[in-house]
C-alpha cells in the first residue's frame, strides 16, 4: 500500500509541473550570418576635353571598407572605413567631379611618376648623358613634371582572386616624355582585402636606362573628409633618420638623426605637438615635408608608420618595400573647395608617400632609382585600417 501511495504521489508531482518548471527543450543553433560579398562596380566618371571617357571603379570588401578609383591619373577618389562605433566616413581628400581633378594642382589621390618627389636643378646625369626636365617647383622638377602620371589616362582591368578584389592600371610612358629617357611600361594595382587593407603594387620595365620612383599621393584625415585639421592625430614613424633639406627642399646629404629634433616620431606623438617649433627645417617646409629613412634590417615589407585619430578611434598603418617615406602636412592647401563643398585648408590632411629618397639621381650615396633594360622595377605599399 505504501508503494502504491508513493507511486501515485510521484505521478501527481510530475503531472503538476508547470511549463516554467520544466527544463527547456533543446533548440537548434541560429544559422550563421553570411558575410557580405565583396563587389566591384564600374561606372562613367566624365569625359576629357579630347573626348576620352574616364571610368570609375568602386571596390567594396564587405567588411565596411570601400575604395573608389578612376583611370585618370589612377586617382583614388575615396576610401571609406568605419570608426570604433561603426560610423563610416571618407578618410581621403579629393573632388566630386572629373573637371575639378583636371583643374586641381594638389595631386589628390594620384599615382606619381615617372619620378615622385623632387629632382634638384630639374636635371640628372645617367651613363654620361644629361637629361633636362621641366622646372615646375622653383628650380626643381616635381612629381614627374608638367604632365606626370597623375595627368594621363590609364588602361584598367578589374579582378577577383584569393578572396581579394582590385583594379590594375597600365600606362606606357613614351621615350622622352617629360624629358625622361626610355619607353616605360608601367602597371599599378590596387588590391582591397577582407582585412580592410589596400595594397598598392607597382611594376615597370624600360627599353633604355632611366630613373623611376613611383608613389601614391593620397591626403588622409582619419577624422573624415572635411573634419578639420589633423594636428591631434598621433603619428609613429619607424625611422631613426630623416633628410634635412636646403631652401628648395632638396636633401643636403645622407639622412641625419631625428634625436632631439621636431622630426622624432619614434614614439606616438601628436602631429601638431612640434609643427610650429622654432626649427629651421620646419620653417623651410612650412611644416613637415621631409623624407624619412625607414628602419629596416633587410629587403621586404616593413612597417613605416602608424597613425591614430583619438576621437574616432580609426588607425592606419603603412607597410612598404621602399627605403623612405615622405611625411607631408598639406602645408600649401589654402581654401581649396573639395568633396561635398568642404573647404580644405593648411594642415587639414597628411600624406605618407612611400618612396626612394628625393633627388636620388643626383645623390650617388642614396638607394638607386636607376632602371635598366632587362630589369623590373617592383614595389609594394600597404595601407591597413583599423580601430582602437
- The catalytic residue positions are 217, 353
Say which residues have a Cβ less than 8 Å from residue 231's Cβ, sequence separation at least 6: 270, 271, 272, 275, 347
DSSP code at position 149: G
Torsion of Cα atoms, 167 then 93 then 214 then 143, to 10°: 140
| Cell triple for 6 | 508513493
Q: Give the C-alpha separation, 79 to 63, whole Å.
A: 13
Give the burial class of 260: count Cβ atoms within 10 A of its Cβ; 0-12 exposed, 13-18 middle, 19 or more buried: exposed
Contact predicate 144/136, CB 8 Å: no
Q: Cβ neighbours of residue 144 under 8 Å, at least 6 residues apart?
A: 112, 113, 114, 115, 116, 150, 178
Give all strands of the β-sheet with 66-70 in edge-to-edge order.
39-47, 53-60, 66-70, 76-82, 88-90
Question: Are the C-beta atoms of residues 333 and 225 closer than 8 Å to each other?
Answer: no
CA distances from 85 to 222, 287, 342 (A): 14, 32, 23
Secondary structure class of 58 (helix, strand, coil): strand
Euclidean distance between CA atoms 103 and 31, whole angstroms: 52
Looking at residue 91, the DSSP 8-state letter turns out to be -
Phi–psi pair at 377, nearest 5 degrees: -80, 125
Find where cell 541560429 sits. 30
Q: Are 145 and 179 in contact (CB under 8 A)?
A: yes
Q: Is the dihedral of CA 297, 318, 39, 94 positive or negative?
A: negative
The answer to whether 108 and 72 are in contact (CB under 8 A) is no
Phi, psi dihedrals of residue 140, rounded to the nearest 5°: -95, 160
Amino acid at each position: 500500500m505504501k508503494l502504491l501511495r508513493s507511486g501515485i504521489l510521484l505521478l501527481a508531482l510530475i503531472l503538476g509541473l508547470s511549463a516554467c518548471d520544466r527544463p527547456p527543450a533543446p533548440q537548434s543553433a541560429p544559422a550563421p550570418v553570411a558575410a557580405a560579398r565583396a563587389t566591384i562596380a564600374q561606372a562613367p566618371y566624365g569625359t576629357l576635353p579630347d573626348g576620352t571617357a574616364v571610368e570609375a571603379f568602386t571596390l567594396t570588401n564587405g567588411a565596411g571598407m570601400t575604395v573608389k578609383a578612376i583611370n585618370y591619373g589612377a586617382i583614388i577618389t575615396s576610401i571609406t572605413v568605419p570608426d570604433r562605433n561603426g560610423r563610416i566616413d571618407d578618410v581621403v581628400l579629393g573632388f566630386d567631379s572629373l573637371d575639378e581633378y583636371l583643374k586641381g594642382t594638389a595631386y589628390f589621390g594620384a599615382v606619381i611618376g615617372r619620378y615622385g618627389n623632387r629632382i634638384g636643378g630639374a636635371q640628372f646625369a645617367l651613363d654620361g648623358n644629361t637629361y633636362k626636365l621641366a622646372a615646375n617647383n622653383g628650380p626643381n622638377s616635381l612629381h614627374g613634371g608638367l604632365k606626370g602620371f597623375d595627368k594621363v589616362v590609364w588602361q584598367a582591368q578589374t579582378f577577383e582572386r584569393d578572396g581579394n578584389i582590385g583594379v590594375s592600371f597600365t600606362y606606357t610612358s613614351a621615350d622622352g616624355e617629360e624629358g625622361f629617357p626610355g619607353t616605360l611600361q608601367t602597371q599599378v594595382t590596387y588590391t582591397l582585402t577582407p582585412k580592410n587593407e589596400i595594397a598598392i603594387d607597382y611594376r615597370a620595365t624600360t627599353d633604355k636606362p632611366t630613373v623611376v620612383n613611383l608613389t601614391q599621393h593620397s591626403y588622409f584625415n582619419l577624422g573624415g573628409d572635411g573634419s578639420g585639421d589633423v594636428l591631434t592625430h598621433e603619428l609613429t614613424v619607424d625611422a631613426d633618420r630623416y633628410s634635412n633639406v636646403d631652401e628648395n627642399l632638396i636633401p643636403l646629404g645622407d639622412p641625419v638623426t631625428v634625436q632631439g629634433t621636431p622630426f622624432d616620431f619614434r614614439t606616438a606623438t601628436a602631429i601638431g605637438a612640434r609643427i610650429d617649433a622654432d626649427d629651421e627645417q620646419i620653417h623651410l617646409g612650412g611644416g613637415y615635408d621631409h623624407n624619412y629613412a625607414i628602419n629596416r634590417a633587410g629587403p621586404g615589407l616593413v612597417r613605416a608608420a602608424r597613425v591614430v585619430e583619438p576621437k574616432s578611434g580609426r588607425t592606419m598603418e603603412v607597410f612598404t618595400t621602399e627605403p623612405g617615406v615622405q611625411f607631408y602636412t598639406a602645408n600649401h592647401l589654402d581654401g581649396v573647395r573639395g568633396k561635398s563643398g568642404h573647404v580644405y585648408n593648411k594642415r587639414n590632411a597628411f600624406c605618407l608617400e612611400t618612396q626612394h629618397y628625393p633627388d636620388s639621381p643626383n645623390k650617388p650615396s642614396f638607394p638607386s632609382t636607376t632602371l635598366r633594360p632587362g630589369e623590373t622595377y617592383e614595389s609594394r605599399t600597404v595601407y591597413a585600417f583599423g580601430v582602437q
